[in-house]
Structure 1
Amino acid sequence: MISGLPVLRIAFVMLHTSPLDVPGTKDAGGMNVAVRAQAEALADAGHEVRILTRRADPEVPARVETRANLTVVHLDAGPARLLAKGDHEAVMDDFGRALAAELAEHPADLLHAEHWFSGIAALPVARATGIPLVQSYHSIAAPHESPLGDGERAESPGREAGEQRLAREADLLLAVSEAERRTIERRLGGDPERIAVVPLGVDTERFHPCETAECAEQRDWIERGGRPEVIVVGRLHPLKGFDLAVAAISLIAAERRPVLRIVGAPPPDGDDYARALHAAVVDAGMVSTTAFDGALRRTELAERIRQADLMLVPSHTETFGLVALEAAASGVPVIAREVGGLREAVRDGVTGVLLPDGASAEAWADEIEVLLRDRVRLERMGEEARRFALAHGWDRSAEHLLAAYRTLLDRTNCP
């Protein structure tokens, strides 16, 4: 048992996206990866774990046991179809009622809400039942007039007020980085005494350095003058800054230009940005050296990452930057924007390079070229990145999470 804790009945609340969704599709992203990985680690340690999500498909079973001690529960709230992210505010009350009914039949020792939709839906239930409520934000809305670097826009009217309410009323606020902790304190007014930092982890068995014959072939190709490969991974959303990656690569002379691999799909309301990326690639004359892979399952994603020479993470903001850690585990250096939790996910000059927020596409292009030309430095960074990632497994993340749970349960006098 991790940290010597007794068996806990833990209910993760995940209203607007399912842990069964493929990251990079719909509204699935790093949050889906983190919740499922932590839930699996807790279940493997013997705790009884449920992930409660909204039914978005009439054909999906009400309960899906994904492994021993871990069940995904689909609750009926609103139409049983995919909704645009902002539309989930309208179904929060229905989801709360379904959640209350589920807990009446299958009690929990604590509720862990993921994102503000889940927290606001769960808060009345937690108060009515006396179950402590843990809140994770994953991202925090910024005012509409602020730059993208301050965070994503509120996708529905109640988000800013809802996030602030949760900062006041949830029993425990979890941040995934020191950067997010500061945002919770400064923007939302969260009480520092009720905030705990639980770093994310990475599956270092699935994400590992390239050692296969296929990768040996790739290295031989590079040595013979073939094009190296640069990869970006995430939802095709303006916040991820993939347009900067396209612009930077386009500034590299055509004869030296690396292949750009874009992995991810747009959210339900994000087709315009995806079309703009495709158009930018065409306008830059990069069609033959750019691959749009769409969203990939985790095993395929790991294969793509470890075959790349370099990952770019040009996000305007990240609470942590999980893909940067997945690249590190794969022995692939990262060039990232120096914002938010990316300062903690990338060790500047050691596992990759951090470029100042606001750095031009020219600056990104220069850094990409410098790194790709220096294969010795690139390899050394990859080795350091792997060492860094090995200290950040999901089992360690789960230990931090359980310690935070125990502190909360001790404070609230719960078993």
Structure 2
Amino acid sequence: MLSVHTSPLHQPGTGDAGGMNVYMVELSRALAEQGVAVDLFTRCRGEGVPRLVDLEPGVRVRHLHAGPRRPLPKEAMPDLVLPFSLALLKEERGYDLVHSHYWLSGQAGRIASFGWGIPLVHTAHTLALVKNAHLADGDTPEPELRIRGERRIVGDADRLIANTGDEAEALRSLYGAAPLRTEVVRPGVDLRTFGPGSERDGRAAARARLGLPADAFVPLYAGRIQPLKGPDILVRAVAELLWMAPDLRRRLLVPVIGGHSGASREGTVWRLAAELGVDDVLKACPPVPQERLADWYRAADVLVVPSRSESFGLVALEAQACGTPVLASAVGGLPTAVWDGVSGLLVRGHDPVDYARRLLWLARHPRARVSMGEAAVRHAQGMSWRTSATRTIDVYQDALAGALRVGQGRRHAPAPSASLSWRNEKAVARV
């Protein structure tokens, strides 16, 4: 697997790390449990991390020297794709296929696929044309360079993995992806980490550990602070909520967990909160490890996901697994992640008033929140990473069976092994 611009080891919610980082780690672990060995290649940023990190049996993170050994903005990454690819090609051979994540890695994946003569499987995670169609006011559109790069990847990849049917349709309608080479594999949730807890270790215990008032109404935001994720919509919704129900201020607490990312300017959200007079009910919190994040989900009354664009929305699935309903925008994969009216509520459009009305309804109907939370657990339990890995292996096997390379008119060189299994076999299937 390839991840040029962000490491699987980075803390989600910081810099460019987010759901994709969780996706790569959890999918790799689930693949390893089913017998597929995975090497995750990323760029060395000079952070004192060993060149090779054993994440767990069957999963390794490998750092390549490409460009300056320091953190760089994502905008500088296109210039490092070629050095990254050349460093990758110098590594040992013997991989069965390459699976790239995000368009930058897809460019490197194209080179590795041709150089090694193995199939390329690509997961976009986000698409420039979709993002550009849902920009916030003043946000910077994705460049033409990325759009051209995504078109090349879509044309060259043996298989494309989309998170949802909507994403698969966007790949087909906007990028001309071949339907027979486009597969839908829904992401999962780590049910060992994210769960409702026991009767004695549920919401009350989580609030006690986090120092939150037991009687507070707690809408939670968890994600990167950037325009595409819509934190400004949440702030404006909180202002509308308090205008509708001023008495709610004494028990309203809105934790915002995440770091600034991309085009987001440091402090913009907090300045908006101060201008609207709601900074007293917002609580800024840094990104936290998954185990701690599970506590925040359990402590919350509702998770708010007001994204303008979202390929899937893993946080929505994680919160539901913890028994917390979700209030989310009806975009991208969120209608798949959230069962509208059962495990949460979906909002069409981005009007803060619509969010405020639903927040007020949730605040005034605690029994409905409990009922939705119970349904949310059942809904999330139907989406495991094990299932995602099984479907992904099917996609890998189809690619290994000899999918025709677009434009080459020939099949890939035979894969080094006939089956995707590393346990108890001399032949090792490797990604």
TM-score scaled by length of structure 1 = 0.90
Question: Measured at CA, do residues 110 and 346 of structure 1 come closer, stay the same or move farther in structure 2, by a change above 3 Å?
Answer: same
How many angstroms apart in 2 are the aligned matches of 1:45 and 1:213?
32
* 1:128 to partner: Cα distance: 2.3
Question: Measured at CA, do residues 285 and 132 of structure 1 come closer, stay the same or move farther in structure 2, by a change above 3 Å?
Answer: same
**2:56 aligns to what?**
67
**1:239 aligns to what?**
228
How many angstroms apart in 1 are the aligned matches of 2:234 and 2:394?
39
Does the residue aligned with 1:325 lie in a helix, a strand or coil? Answer: helix
360, 383, 388: which one pairs with 1:369?
A: 360
The aligned amino acid for 2:221 is V
**2:156 aligns to what?**
169
Instruction: Tell me, yes or no, if the aligned pair for 1:154 and 1:160 is still in contact at 8 Å.
Output: no
How many angstroms apart in 2 are the aligned matches of 1:241 and 1:144?
13
How many angstroms apart in 2 are the aligned matches of 1:218 and 1:31?
27
Q: Show CA shifts across 1:199-228 (max 9, x none).
A: 0000112111144457336899xxx99321
Does structure 1 residue 84 correspond to structure 2 residue 104? no
**1:193 aligns to what?**
180
**2:387 aligns to what?**
396
Does the residue aligned with 1:336 lie in a helix, a strand or coil? Answer: strand
**2:324 aligns to what?**
332
The aligned amino acid for 2:16 is D
Percent of residue pairs identical: 34
347, 352, 362: which one pairs with 2:339?
A: 347
Instruction: Tell me, yes or no, if the aligned pair for 2:163 and 2:187 is still in contact at 8 Å.
Output: yes
Instruction: Tell me, yes or no, if the aligned pair for 1:208 and 1:329 is still in contact at 8 Å.
Output: yes
Instruction: Tell me, yes or no, if the aligned pair for 1:99 and 1:122 is still in contact at 8 Å.
Output: no
How many angstroms apart in 1 are the aligned matches of 2:61 and 2:314?
23
* 1:61 to partner: Cα distance: 1.2
Question: Measured at CA, do residues 296 and 270 of structure 1 come closer, stay the same or move farther in structure 2, by a change above 3 Å?
Answer: farther
The aligned amino acid for 1:376 is R
How many angstroms apart in 2 are the aligned matches of 1:83 and 1:155?
18
**How many residues matched?**
394
CA RMSD of aligned residues (A): 2.1
How many angstroms apart in 2 are the aligned matches of 1:261 and 1:122?
39
How many angstroms apart in 1 are the aligned matches of 2:120 and 2:132?
32
Does structure 1 residue 26 correspond to structure 2 residue 15? yes
Q: Show CA shifts across 1:245-301 (max 9, x none).
A: 11111122342142111111012x4451x4110112222332332111121111111
**1:262 aligns to what?**
256
How many angstroms apart in 2 are the aligned matches of 1:47 and 1:190?
27
31, 39, 45: which one pairs with 1:50?
A: 39
1:88-103 equivalences in 2 (<5 Å) = 88-102=77-91
The aligned amino acid for 1:377 is A
Instruction: Tell me, yes or no, if the aligned pair for 1:141 and 1:153 is still in contact at 8 Å.
Output: no
Instruction: Tell me, yes or no, if the aligned pair for 2:98 and 2:118 is still in contact at 8 Å.
Output: yes
98, 110, 115: which one pairs with 1:128?
A: 115
How many angstroms apart in 1 are the aligned matches of 2:205 and 2:275?
31
Question: Measured at CA, do residues 193 and 218 of structure 1 come closer, stay the same or move farther in structure 2, by a change above 3 Å?
Answer: closer
Does the residue aligned with 2:285 lie in a helix, a strand or coil? Answer: strand
How many angstroms apart in 2 are the aligned matches of 1:143 and 1:370?
31
User: Higher RCO, 1 or 2 (CA under 8 Å, sep at least 6)?
Assistant: 2
* 1:321 to partner: Cα distance: 1.1
Question: Measured at CA, do residues 20 and 225 of structure 1 come closer, stay the same or move farther in structure 2, by a change above 3 Å?
Answer: closer
How many angstroms apart in 2 are the aligned matches of 1:225 and 1:287?
21
Instruction: Tell me, yes or no, if the aligned pair for 2:203 and 2:300 is still in contact at 8 Å.
Output: no
The aligned amino acid for 1:373 is R
1:275-294 equivalences in 2 (<5 Å) = 275-294=267-286
Does structure 1 residue 356 correspond to structure 2 residue 364? no
How many angstroms apart in 1 are the aligned matches of 2:372 and 2:225?
27
How many angstroms apart in 2 are the aligned matches of 1:147 and 1:349?
25
How many angstroms apart in 1 are the aligned matches of 2:187 and 2:87?
29
TM-score scaled by length of structure 2 = 0.87
Q: Show CA shifts across 1:57-79 (max 9, x none).
A: 25221111111111100001110
Instruction: Tell me, yes or no, if the aligned pair for 2:97 and 2:120 is still in contact at 8 Å.
Output: yes
Does the residue aligned with 1:232 lie in a helix, a strand or coil? Answer: strand
Does structure 1 residue 407 correspond to structure 2 residue 398? yes
Unaligned runs of 5+ in 2: 404-413, 419-431
How many angstroms apart in 1 are the aligned matches of 2:132 and 2:205?
49
The aligned amino acid for 1:287 is D
